[in-house]
Amino acid sequence: MGEFKVHRVRFFDYVPSGVRCMAYAEETSKLALARNDGSVEVLNFSSFYYQEKVIPGDESRSIESICWAAGNRLFTAGLNGEITEYDLEKLCVKYTLDAYGGPIWNIAANACNTHLAVSCEDGSVKLFIITSDHIRFEKNLDRQKGRLLCLAWHPLGTHIVTGSVNKIQVFNASSGHLQHVLKLDSRPLAGRKRECVVWSVAVLSSGHVISVDSSGKLLLWDLEKGTLIHTHSVANCDILSLAVSKAEDSLVVGTAEGVVFQFEHISLKTGESERQWVRTKPFRFHTHDVRAVAHSSTAIISGGVDGHLVIRPLMEKIEVKSYEAALRKITFPHHHLVSCAQKSGRLLFQFPEHLELWQLGKTDISGRDGDVLPVKKKQELLLKLKRKGTESIRCSCVSHCGSWISYTTSSQLYLHQLHCEKDNLSLRRVPRLPQLPSAPLKLLFSPDSKRLYVGSEGGCVHVLELSDGACKLGPTLQPPSETANRSLSSVHLMAVSINGTYLAVATPSSQIDIYNTHIMKHECSVPRYSCPPSALSIHPTTENLVIAYADQQLMEFNINQRQYTEWGRRVLKNGLHRDWLERDTPILGIRFNPSRPEDILMHDNYMFCVLDKSLPLPDDKTPLFNQITLKHLSERAQKSQAHAFKITKKFQPLMFMDLLSDGDLVLVERPISDIVANLPPPMKQKKFGT
Amino acid sequence: MSPDSEDEEAPEEVTFQSAKSQAVDTARKVRQAAKREKDLLKEKRKLKQELFTEQKKRKLLDEDILQTVSALPDKPYETSKDEDVAQDKGNALMNDQMKKKPQKRELKPKIRLQENYKVVHLEDYSHKNLQQQKAKEFVQHALYGRIKNRTTANEFLSVASKKGVVKKPAFHFSDQTWGEAEKKKSERFNLLWRDRKKL
């Protein structure tokens, strides 16, 4: 499959931030997810769970709750006491509004999307009216003693139920008066004072209230009478999250031990009309606390402190076998957090709060295939650059020569120049950067390091001309036609050809524009596909644009002839291998091997692939992963059985791949056990025989 | 037996007045004695205290240093230097002040306060921050408090590797950082030994 000297980089200390809360919108099939570091992500379930939008976090904003309202508007509330609405076009905060009730624990919109309710630390529930572009305070409900940790609307909007320590309160939403206080069992156990924290509540249209609490019980209450109907002991640890399906026939709870339980509303005997909630299946996909669950019509979604997002389809609700019928576990972001200076062999790692620049190690020994070469010069941390202010870093980039570093937060662009003189490194921030017309979202240096392309909203790219120690704003590249889908038109991928002639710009609406950067003009557009592109790259010699889409489809586009290439058409006609299409994660990076122009190097989180265009494409009958079996065959058999996809799964989980100027391959791995070692402590579980 | 024996004598007549005055007298004497004793004790303590402070002073500074300090002019050294600088260049002083700014100083009140009271910036203790901190503490306590049965990451991974299909040793079983100095020393010794034996 081609021989490379591989830098197996394992010093990128990436730890995913834990999932704090989630909200699923059935109409748009989008999942909004907030993490502990305050970042917000939107995943589109209809385009193969692709991470469409990422809004970076802010240190001052700790999100506790997230909700969709009025179609496509996203609100969060957090312990800083503010309600935040996001601009999903510009990927930034639209406005924040102080609720004046202290830290906010929960935010929820009613079913008809007219009101938002927030529950606060000071014991008040505040109602806000959703107007067309803002929200307005309406009223307070009867104030309670103590913090209100969770909140739920009645599906008809008549009642609001809140949960606090040892108590559940039922309010009348229209009058704002307290109707019932439901008291939980807080008798001391074994002489120890016990607090029962209600972590989540839900109200069903049948007039039942469901609550989960820190004693590991799921309780079913009557809303009108205020009485306890049923108790389910679920676990010995806290139950932290609860979600009910829209049809109200199934619910999921997430526990501190990492187990997710499903309950179904079914009749115990066939033919009987009376139904009960029955615990059906436990799902153990998490190692740490499950702090957020959501329920779509066909799947249960859970997110935990371990940073995993798990989508488990419910088989009885899926009719056709499709991509959605398999379990998906999303751990790593769908964009690169690493960039590489190919000429100088440096890697730039992006963390939310700082950047790290590393010099790769060296060896002067060569060996046979599979040998582990001893490192002569170890890798070296050259630079640690802390961000300014409280905003997290959105995107970062290092130039090919390794002498420019640029990063952007949600509001500002930073550019630094690196001088390197004989082990003496000095960094200088380029002062007075020109004011950009719109917020920077994606960065890319041209191969000659004389330009910085800044991708922005609306598919446009600002060009910054770099000279020694200074920076000037050049022209803005704009797509010729206004894109149909404004909300998905922010630039999320860019690629530039090695001679710097062409720049390809992609947006999640799968609009891909190609510009000629010599004359700063739009050259052509790639025919639009139904799925967002996940990676793209321009071939150094043939200048073909290779695109990987989120549904694992591959395309090759000839820029000069403005059409798909012959090979690309063959791929489209034959279709790709079934195993290829059913892979877990989208292709994250594409590179080319200068010594073998017919090869395309690709990677996702769990495999590295060399696609040899000169070999025939495999059909569904031949195995896709055949590299190990090929090794044991004779030369002739090897020739007859070889196909285009040469895949290795030796390097896992893979976060980045690039080819250095001297032909060395750089693969950045992040083993899961290293991540687990850096997470908060999990619950202690007794295992037999340990 | 003589009739004038003292035993036979009738008791001396004591008037009520004199008896009373006598009683008052003795009581006063007792009080005075107690007071004197108290005063003496106080004096003793005072002396002791003075001795202690004297000793402390002596420990801190040598006599000659104290003398040189007392011989110096009344104006503190620092300020006079600052003024000189200020006379030379106005900018330098500005820089000095700029440098001093980030250092957090204790705030000094204009009036004397009771003991245990101090002046703080209200900003650091604002209602909002305090509430947020309290809320965060509550969550931390509820999820990771002492009553919760939490394990460590190492233990967790070790159990996982023990229960797995492929049995592996405990995670981070050996602490690589342990005895670094000793390891270096032994390495050097080995080198020397090899050198000496010409191996």
pLDDT at A423: 76
Asked if residue B16 has pLDDT above 70, the reply is yes
Which of B:162-181 have CB within 8 Å of A? 162-163, 171-172
pLDDT at B32: 94
Give B146's pLDDT tier (boundaries 50, 70, 90): confident
**Residue type for A345, please?**
G
Q: Which residue of A has its CA nearest to B154?
A: A677
- Measure CA of the first residue to CA of the last residue in chain B; give whole Å: 125
Q: How far apart are CA A342 and CA A298, in angstroms?
A: 45
Q: What are phi and psi of B123, to 5 degrees?
A: -60, -40
Q: How far apart are CA A41 and CA A57, in angstroms?
A: 10
Q: How far apart are CA A158 and CA A379, in angstroms?
A: 63
Query: Could you tell me what percent of chain B has a pLDDT over 90?
Result: 23
Is the minimum CB–CB distance between B133 and chain A shorter than 8 Å?
Answer: no
Pick out chain A residues at pLDDT < 50. none
Least Cα separation, residue A424 to chain B (angstroms): 27
The angle formed by the CA atoms of residues A161, A167 and A173, to the nearest 5 degrees, is 20
DSSP, residue by residue, A357-426: EEEPPB------TT--PPPSB--EEEEEEEPSSSBPEEEEEE-TTS-EEEEEESS-EEEEEEEEETTEEE
Q: How far apart are CA A36 and CA A34, in angstroms?
A: 7
Q: How far is CA A236 from CA A214, A217, A239, A460, in A?
A: 9, 9, 9, 54
The CATH-assigned architecture of domain A240-330 is Beta Barrel (2.40)
- Give the list of residues 6+ apart from residue A357 with CB closer than 8 angstroms, or none: A346, A347, A348, A349, A381, A382, A383, A384, A385, A398, A405, A418
Task: Considering only the beta carbons, identify the residue of A237, A289, A673 that sits closest to B157.
Answer: A673
Asked if residue B110 has pLDDT above 90, the reply is no
- Token reading at A604: 């996702």
pLDDT at B66: 56
For A222, the 3-state DSSP assignment is strand
Nearest residue to A445 (alpha-carbon basis) of A468, A417, A464: A464
- Token reading at A425: 């490194």
Contact A86, A74 (CB under 8 A): yes
pLDDT tens readout for residues A194-220: 788 999 999 999 999 999 999 899 999
Task: Considering only the beta carbons, identify the residue of A80, A192, A289 that sits closest to B132.
Answer: A80
pLDDT at B198: 80
Q: How many helices (H) and strands (E) does chain A have?
A: 5, 55
Least Cα separation, residue A332 to chain B (angstroms): 20
pLDDT at A188: 72
- Token reading at A192: 């120890």
What is the pLDDT averaged over residues B98-115? Answer: 64
Say yes or no for a CB contact (<8 Å) between A687 and B159: yes
Contact A290, A321 (CB under 8 A): no
- Measure CA of the first residue to CA of the last residue in chain A; give whole Å: 43
pLDDT at A369: 81
Q: Where are the alpha helices (DSSP H) in A506-565?
A: none
Contact A115, A109 (CB under 8 A): yes
Whose structure tokens read 């989508």? Answer: A311
pLDDT at A273: 82
CB-side neighbour CA atoms (13 Å) of A278: 9
Nearest residue to A55 (alpha-carbon basis) of A398, A489, A482, A352: A352
Nearest residue to A403 (alpha-carbon basis) of A344, A472, A474: A344
pLDDT at A545: 94
pLDDT at B65: 63
Q: How far apart are CA A655 and CA A340, in angstroms?
A: 12
pLDDT at B101: 47
- Give the list of residues 6+ apart from residue A94 with CB closer than 8 angstroms, or none: A84, A85, A86, A87
DSSP, residue by residue, A103-120: SEEEEEE-TTSSEEEEEE
pLDDT at A66: 95
Q: How far apart are CA A196 and CA A211, in angstroms?
A: 11
Q: Where are the alpha helices (DSSP H) in B61-88?
A: 63-71, 77-88
Task: Considering only the beta carbons, identify the residue of B131, B144, B172 that sits closest to A680.
Answer: B144
Asked if residue B78 has pLDDT above 60, the reply is no
For A233, the 3-state DSSP assignment is strand
Asked if residue B123 has pLDDT above 80, the reply is no
Q: Which residue of A has its CA nearest to B129?
A: A80
Q: How far apart are CA B107 and CA A371, in angstroms?
A: 65
Task: Considering only the beta carbons, identify the residue of B136, B149, B163 that sits closest to A684.
Answer: B149
